[in-house]
Amino acid sequence: ETGVTQTPRHLVMGMTNKKSLKCEQHLGHNAMYWYKQSAKKPLELMFVYSLEERVENNSVPSRFSPECPNSSHLFLHLHTLQPEDSALYLCASQPDLNTEAFFGQGTRLTVV
């Protein structure tokens, strides 16, 4: 248990659906991240938030939209996804930008 909680753990959605992934941490960390983990590929950084400000958008398609309403919560809003977006989406938090990352359990997303 890392203290980073993601919901839902599993999600199946159609290409025309809109859904949101949620990440929550009460560790007092100031930096939060979204990563994508596809089979046989390295973890890919998607978004970085530091003190609730988005500091990096790693060339992610606009069908993925992050939101960080406060330092404890991070969302990833999904709309009109493609089957190739099926992957494990991991949230991570860090006390600050220069410390180790604590990962959530991930959301296994399947787009049909």
Partner 1 sequence: GQNIDQPTEMTATEGAIVQINCTYQTSGFNGLFWYQQHAGEAPTFLSYNVLDGLEEKGRFSSFLSRSKGYSYLLLKELQMKDSASYLCAVRGSTLGRLYFGRGTQLTVWP
Q: Could you list the residues that contact partner 1 (CB under 8 A)? A: 2, 4, 31, 40-45, 48, 50, 55-56, 90, 94, 96-106, 108
- Decide whether 84 or 100 has the Cβ nearer to partner 1: 100
**How do 18-25 and 73-79 pair as beta strands?**
antiparallel
Strand partners, 65: 77
Least Å from the CB of residue 36 to partner 1: 11
CA 49/CA 44 separation, integer angstroms: 15
- Decide whether 15 or 97 has the Cβ nearer to partner 1: 97
- Decide whether 73 or 108 has the Cβ nearer to partner 1: 108
Least Å from the CB of residue 18 to partner 1: 26
Determine contact, residues 46/54, Cβ cutoff 8 Å: no
| One-letter amino acid of 100 | E
